[in-house]
Structures are given as structure tokens and as C-alpha cells.
């Protein structure tokens, strides 16, 4: 199951990249398609932040992960590099867990 | 500036940025293992998908016990922006047909950003140098991260909190104005509302509906 998901995702993601290089530009330069592809990452990434931080199975939970996200938010605002943002979040959550 | 020193500066910038971005493969490898994937599976994802957002999205769904279909759908929707990058790059760079397949695989946020902001005539250099650097470091770092996570108790070191943070770090640079921010918040609210009533992975796909009003507007 996991392998199928891995190869299907790889195929889909590669096909999208190759389509952009190969298809005639006018086909992909429609305004609405452009707008949709520009906005999709925004909503999906925002949704992923929420789901990864506040979901516990099928319920909403506020736990050490929320503290980690808050710390990550501060790091992002200070323009810290990606790896630092991630490390700050993990360390904060670990500290909160160790303290409670 | 002399053309030669200008070219050297572009190469230096691209290698620096590429290595920094690739290093975040450490977190991807670790998070994948924490989500229940094997080291090999994490490495194959980095080699074949090679798009951070899509990889984290798939692993997140699988780790939460979601179905393969929702994981694939979420990862592909997130990967659709690479298609638009490719359209832009195809008009900007001169890439022979024989190298299209490799260029396609290297088409991601960072290679596009470096190629389109490079000085006149250095777009090709910027694209390939960034692409090869990110690809090499991202895959090496994934392996190291996965091996590292197999040794530590990943929840005790807060790795579950790292995933949300990774998405936040990817999200913030994409928000360029108020309307973008509003749409992102709408997506987040839809996902939160869907968590209690839908299986893992589905809330993220439903959140895509938040773009509909903005896309249909004239």
C-alpha cells in the first residue's frame, strides 16, 4: 500500500512537471488555471499546518505541538532558515513534553 | 561587474542556497520514519518525487492512517505549481529536448526562483547549479535523517511538531498579499472543521475549495 502510494505520487508529480515543459504554453496560460495553481499551495499548506498540529485522530487537540508551532512562527518571522524553523519547533515541543 | 565574476557569484549563491534547502531533507527523512515509513521508502520518495511539500503531505497522510488515494491526491494538488514553474522556465531557458526529462525533475520552487532572478544570460547556469545542488543534498540528507530517526525516540525529540512547522515555513513565503493571507486562513478553517468528520487526508483536499471564489471571479 505504502509503495503504491509512493510510486503513484512520484508518477503524478513528475507528469505535472514534464507537462509544463512539453505542452504548448497557450494551453497552460489560461488565466483561471494560472490563478488556481498559484493559490492552491496557499490553502493546502495552511490546511496541512492545522491538520499536523491540531489533529489527534479525528479530534482537535491542543498539545505540545501547538507550542512548537508558535515557536516556529516566531522563527519564520525572524526569517530563520527552514531547517532552523523545524528544529526550533521540535525542540520546543520536546521541552514542553519533558516539563509536563 | 565582469561577466566571469558575475557568473562565479551566481554559482556561489546557487550552491549556498541549494545546500541550505537540501539540508532540510534531514527533517523529511526523520519525519518519514516517525510516520512509519522505512528508510528505503523515505529515500525513494526524495529521489522520485523530489518536491518537499508533496513529500511531507503524503507522509503526513500515511502517518495519520489516511488512505493512499487521499495522500496521492493531496501531494499531486500541491505539486501542480511545479507545472506552472515549468511553463515559465520553458520560455526562459534553452533546454535541448534530450535534457527535458532531467530538467523536469529538477523543476521546483528554488530552481525556478534562482533561474528567473538570475542576471541576463545566466538563467541556465542558475537553474542547473541550484538543481544539482539541491538534488544531491536533499537525497543525502533524507538518508541521514531517516537513519537518525531510527535511533531516537522521535516523539520525545518533538518530531511530530516538526511537520506542522515545516509546512508553516513553506507557507509563509508564498503569502504575498492580504487576499493570499485571507485565502490561506479560509483553507485552514475548512481543514479544522473537517478533521472531526472526515478520514485522515480528506480535510486537506477539502481545503482546496477555499480557492474557488477567487478563481471564478472575473
Instruction: Note the pLDDT tens digit of each residue in B80-96.
Output: 889 988 988 998 898 99
Distance CA B157, CA A98 (A): 10
- At residue B1 the predicted structure's pLDDT band, cuts being 50, 70 and 90, is low
B-facing residues of A in 23-52 (CB < 8 A) are: 23, 25, 28-29, 32, 34-52
Q: What is the number of domains present in chain B? A: 2
Distance CA B32, CA A6 (A): 12
**Binary contact (B214, A39; C-beta < 8 A):** yes
**Binary contact (A50, B188; C-beta < 8 A):** yes
Secondary structure class of B107 (helix, strand, coil): coil
Q: Which domain holds residue B16?
A: 3-174
Task: Confirm or reject contact between A74 and chain B (CB < 8 A).
Answer: no
- For residue B188, what pLDDT is reported? 97
B211/B104 same-domain check: no
**Binary contact (A4, B68; C-beta < 8 A):** yes
Parse chain A into domains and list their residue ranges: 1-57, 62-100
Q: Which residues of B touch A8 (CB under 8 A)?
A: 68, 72
Q: What is the pLDDT of residues B113-172, one digit of tens each?
A: 899 888 889 999 999 999 999 999 999 999 999 999 888 777 777 888 888 998 899 899
**pLDDT mean over B68-73:** 94
B209/B163 same-domain check: no
Q: What is the pLDDT of residues B9-21, one digit of tens each?
A: 899 989 988 888 8
Q: Is pLDDT of A69 > 80?
A: yes
Q: Is pLDDT of B67 > 60?
A: yes
Considering only CA atoms, give the Rg of chain A: 19
| Higher per-residue pLDDT: A83 or B48 | B48
- For residue A40, what pLDDT is reported? 87
Distance CA B82, CA B112 (A): 9
- For residue B213, what pLDDT is reported? 92
**Binary contact (B161, A59; C-beta < 8 A):** no
With pLDDT > 90 as the criterion, what percentage of chain B qualifies? 62
Phi, psi of A56 (to 5 degrees): -130, 95
Quote the ipTM score.
Answer: 0.89
B181/B125 same-domain check: no
Distance CA B59, CA B185 (A): 23
Interface size, chain A vs chain B, as Cβ–Cβ contacts under 8 Å: 302
Q: Which of A60-74, B102-116, B161-175 has the lowest mean pLDDT?
A: B161-175
B86/B120 same-domain check: yes
| Higher per-residue pLDDT: B78 or A12 | A12
B45/B14 same-domain check: yes
- For residue B20, what pLDDT is reported? 83
Q: How far is CA B53 from the centre of its chain?
A: 3
B59/B109 same-domain check: yes
**pLDDT mean over B61-76:** 93
CB A40 within 8 A of CB B81: yes
Task: Confirm or reject contact between A70 and chain B (CB < 8 A).
Answer: no
B143/B217 same-domain check: no
Secondary structure class of A59 (helix, strand, coil): strand
B119/B34 same-domain check: yes
Q: Which residues of A touch B60 (CB under 8 A)?
A: 48, 51-52
**pLDDT mean over B41-68:** 94
B148/B184 same-domain check: no
Distance CA B95, CA B137 (A): 23
B101/B191 same-domain check: no
B38/B91 same-domain check: yes
Q: Which residues of A touch B175 (CB under 8 A)?
A: 42
Chain B residue closest in CA terms to A88:
B162
Q: Where would I find the H helices in chain B?
A: 3-23, 25-34, 39-48, 52-63, 68-92, 100-105, 109-117, 123-151, 159-171, 178-194, 202-207, 212-216
Q: Distance, in angstroms, between B164 CA and closest chain A CA?
A: 5
Task: Confirm or reject contact between A62 and chain B (CB < 8 A).
Answer: no
Distance CA B89, CA B99 (A): 13
**Binary contact (A20, B90; C-beta < 8 A):** yes
With pLDDT > 70 as the criterion, what percentage of chain B qualifies? 99
Give buried/exposed letters for A16-32 (b at 16+ CB in 10 A, else e). Answer: bbbbbbeeeeeebeeee
CB B76 within 8 A of CB A16: yes
* B59: CB partners within 8 A, 6+ apart: B28, B31, B32, B35, B37, B42, B45, B163
Q: How far apart, in Å, are the Cα atoms of B34 and each of A31, A86, B48, B62?
A: 41, 15, 20, 11
**pLDDT mean over A5-33:** 90
Chain B residue closest in CA terms to A34:
B84
Residue to substitute from A45, A59, A81, interface B, most B β-carbons within 10 A: A45
- For residue A41, what pLDDT is reported? 87
A-facing residues of B in 121-140 (CB < 8 A) are: none
Residue B17's closest CA among B150, B146, B130? B130
B141/B57 same-domain check: yes
Q: Is pLDDT of B2 > 70?
A: no
Amino acid at each position: 500500500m505504502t509503495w503504491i502510494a509512493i510510486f503513484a505520487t512520484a508518477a503524478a508529480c513528475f507528469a505535472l512537471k514534464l507537462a509544463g515543459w512539453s505542452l504548448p504554453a497557450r494551453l497552460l496560460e489560461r488565466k483561471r488555471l494560472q490563478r488556481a495553481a498559484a493559490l492552491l499551495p496557499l490553502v493546502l499548506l495552511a490546511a496541512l499546518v492545522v491538520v499536523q498540529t491540531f489533529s489527534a485522530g479525528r479530534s482537535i487537540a491542543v498539545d505540545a505541538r501547538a507550542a512548537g508551532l508558535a515557536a516556529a512562527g516566531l522563527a519564520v518571522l525572524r526569517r530563520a532558515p527552514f531547517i532552523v524553523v523545524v528544529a526550533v519547533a521540535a525542540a520546543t515541543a520536546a521541552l514542553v513534553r519533558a516539563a509536563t | 561587474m565582469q561577466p566571469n565574476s558575475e557568473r562565479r557569484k551566481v554559482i556561489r549563491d546557487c550552491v549556498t542556497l541549494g545546500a541550505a534547502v537540501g539540508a532540510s531533507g534531514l527533517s523529511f527523512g526523520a519525519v518519514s520514519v516517525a510516520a512509519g515509513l522505512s528508510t528505503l521508502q523515505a529515500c525513494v520518495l526524495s529521489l522520485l518525487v523530489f518536491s518537499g511539500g508533496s513529500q511531507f503531505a503524503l507522509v503526513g497522510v500515511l502517518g495519520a492512517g489516511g488512505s493512499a488515494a487521499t495522500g496521492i491526491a493531496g501531494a499531486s494538488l500541491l505539486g501542480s505549481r511545479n507545472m506552472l514553474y515549468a511553463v515559465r522556465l520553458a520560455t526562459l531557458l534553452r533546454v535541448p529536448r534530450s535534457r527535458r526529462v532531467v530538467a523536469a525533475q529538477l523543476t521546483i520552487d528554488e530552481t525556478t526562483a534562482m533561474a528567473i532572478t538570475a542576471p541576463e544570460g545566466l538563467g541556465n547556469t542558475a537553474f542547473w547549479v541550484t538543481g544539482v545542488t539541491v538534488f544531491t543534498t536533499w537525497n543525502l540528507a533524507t538518508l541521514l535523517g531517516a537513519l537518525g530517526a531510527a535511533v531516537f525516540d522521535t516523539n520525545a525529540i518533538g518530531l511530530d511538531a516538526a511537520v506542522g512547522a515545516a509546512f508553516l515555513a513553506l507557507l509563509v513565503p508564498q503569502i504575498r498579499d492580504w487576499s493570499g493571507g485571507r485565502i490561506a486562513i479560509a483553507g485552514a478553517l475548512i481543514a479544522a472543521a473537517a478533521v472531526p468528520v472526515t478520514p485522515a487526508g480528506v480535510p486537506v483536499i477539502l481545503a482546496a475549495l477555499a480557492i474557488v471564489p477567487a478563481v471564478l471571479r472575473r
